[in-house]
Structure 1
Amino acid sequence: MFKIFLFWAICAHSLALDVIYVGLYNFPPYAEITDTKAQGAAVDLIHLLNDKLVKFDIELRPYFTSPKRRYQDYEENKFDYIFFESEKWGWEKYNLSVSPIIAMGGEKYLSLKTNKSIYTQKDLQKNLKDKKIAVILGYHYGFAELESNEEELKRKYNIIFTNDHSKNIDLVLKGRADLAIITESYFKMKSDINQDLTSKLKLSADYDQIYNHKILGRPNSKLTMKSIMEAMNSLKKEGKLKTIEKKYYIDFP
């Protein structure tokens, strides 16, 4: 009888939780979405935060969006928060709660080792007419001064748009693109799985963009940014963020 009561008590508590959605789009190693599943640092962080937020009767759940659709989905209240993001990536017109910096990182220029050019932002901005660059549709890149409009990018650069980071690496490997802009931590993870990549490909010494990742959120959400940051700080003090750091080569300052 007690077991039955306990089962229904747990079910009732689960139903009573307020669900707060966190927007996720393909941005490895922070989020990598395939079909209806997602993995990555943001997913792991959601699980850790839920252990802390249960005292508020709140549960975070992922909401799958895309780099281009994230703004519309936010406007339509599909999600309240987005992790590992920058307010400079197209969010300027929105009224947002913005956290302090939660993670550091950056993206670099990936090319074949047989390509002797050393790429920097200045090189890219001055001489791109004969360079094919593989990028992700909807992203904001440093060499393009954070411009994400595809027509404008096509006008200025020789751009190949995709929705898949692995495909961009493959385009460089096959010589169909001269460059791809890749998150440094993601390439390290890929290289751990396939060490052959480091024998054929190189990352530039210069960054296209240095990440100062933050959490962006809805100011009137049932879950306040203050509560999230208190949970984040608690996780850090307990050393629980180290697992994410080691797994995804991410630096939590």
Structure 2
Amino acid sequence: MRRLWLLILLWCSAPWAHTEIRVGGYPFAPFVEKGPGGQWYGLTLDLIAALNRSQPDYRFIFVPTSSAQRYKALDIGRFDMMMFEDLKWGWHDHAVQASSSYYLGGEVYVAMRAPGRDQRFFEDVTRHRLIGVEGYHYGFSQFEGDPAHLRQRFRITLVKDNHSTLRALQLGRGDVAVLTRAYLDSQLAREPALAEQLLISTRLDQRYQLRMLIAPAAPIALPVFEQMMQSLTRQGVAATLWRRYGLAPRSVP
């Protein structure tokens, strides 16, 4: 009997005794990005690593998905939660638990500079050829995310991520691109010359509050996860991660 208890104790203390939490993610810079070699990186991946270092009970792992498939994938249990989502992006019909807001951001309209072109160019963006990301929800479309409906209502080219959106604009595949402000700021920091090429709208397509969404059957309760995030905030870890991606520390709760 004593030997049996020792075996049970060893099993419980083993690395595989962690409760596994699968975190879904899709290309959404700077939160999730995919490198040329197929590696995933971004704030979400760094936050997962920080959560794993901060406590011994849960093991968070990243599970890639697509922006269009993320709803069904969460519903059927392919993963347990998603990070940095806005509820108005099609989540109201899904049973999810939403955390506090962890980032306040938005998306802007961007065009190539041209003689005589100014902010009036963005007064009615639906008159122009648009470029966006398939599966994203935009303010100009009242947050309609279905690609077929978007193509029916607008002259729009849908691509796979923000990188492709900016590239398509530079190649002349559209007149106005919709980009996340955080992604655009990071690109301008890397390539200051872009500021001379791009005309950026002073008004936003949308403002959003990004939260963590947890499935009802997930093996972690929302209050437990919130406590982990509060711990990272108190230690200054969260603010350091946010700054790494050019996000304002004030956006950390």
What is the alpha-carbon distance in structure 2 between the residues aligned to residue 38 and residue 11 of structure 1? 31
Please name the residue that 1:48 is paired with. 50
How far off is 1:10 after superposition?
11
What is the alpha-carbon distance in structure 2 between the residues aligned to residue 121 and residue 143 of structure 1? 11
Q: Which amino acid aligns with 1:49?
A: L
Is 1:19 aligned to residue 16 of structure 2?
no
What is the alpha-carbon distance in structure 1 between the residues aligned to residue 89 and residue 48 of structure 2? 22
Q: Secondary structure at the match of 2:119?
A: coil
Is 1:81 aligned to residue 78 of structure 2?
no
Summarize the Cα distance change of 1:75–1:207 in structure 2 as closer, same or farther, 3 Å threshold: same
Q: Secondary structure at the match of 2:182?
A: helix
Is 1:184 aligned to residue 181 of structure 2?
yes
Q: Secondary structure at the match of 1:101?
A: strand
How far off is 1:53 after superposition?
3.5
How far off is 1:122 after superposition?
5.7
Please name the residue that 1:93 is paired with. 93
How far off is 1:223 after superposition?
1.0
How far off is 1:174 after superposition?
2.5
Please name the residue that 2:225 is paired with. 228
What is the alpha-carbon distance in structure 2 between the residues aligned to residue 45 and residue 104 of structure 1? 17
What is the alpha-carbon distance in structure 2 between the residues aligned to residue 11 and residue 173 of structure 1? 55
What is the alpha-carbon distance in structure 1 between the residues aligned to residue 69 and residue 34 of structure 2? 15
Please name the residue that 1:198 is paired with. 195
Summarize the Cα distance change of 1:230–1:45 in structure 2 as closer, same or farther, 3 Å threshold: same
What is the alpha-carbon distance in structure 2 between the residues aligned to residue 195 and residue 175 of structure 1? 21
Equivalent residues of 1:109, 1:119 under 8 A apart: no
Q: 1:158 aligns with which of 155, 161, 166?
A: 155
Cα deviations by residue, 1:77-106 (Å, 9 ceiling, x for unpaired): 111110000121111111111111111111
How far off is 1:18 after superposition?
1.7
How far off is 1:220 after superposition?
2.9
Q: Secondary structure at the match of 2:141?
A: coil
Q: TM-score, normalised by structure 2?
A: 0.88
Please name the residue that 1:38 is paired with. 40
Is 1:208 aligned to residue 205 of structure 2?
yes
What is the alpha-carbon distance in structure 1 between the residues aligned to residue 60 and residue 121 of structure 2? 39
How far off is 1:215 after superposition?
0.6
Please name the residue that 1:110 is paired with. 110
Q: Structure 1 regions of 5+ residues with no counterpart?
A: 1-8
What is the alpha-carbon distance in structure 2 between the residues aligned to residue 203 and residue 79 of structure 1? 36
How far off is 1:66 after superposition?
0.3
Bigger drift between 95-104 and 35-44 goes to: 35-44
Equivalent residues of 2:111, 2:177 under 8 A apart: yes
Please name the residue that 2:71 is paired with. 71
Is 1:29 aligned to residue 26 of structure 2?
no
How far off is 1:20 after superposition?
0.8
How far off is 1:12 after superposition?
6.0
Equivalent residues of 1:121, 1:142 under 8 A apart: no
Q: Structure 2 regions of 5+ residues with no counterpart?
A: 1-9
Q: TM-score, normalised by structure 1?
A: 0.88
Percent of aligned positions with the same letter in both sequences?
Answer: 27
Q: Secondary structure at the match of 1:100?
A: strand
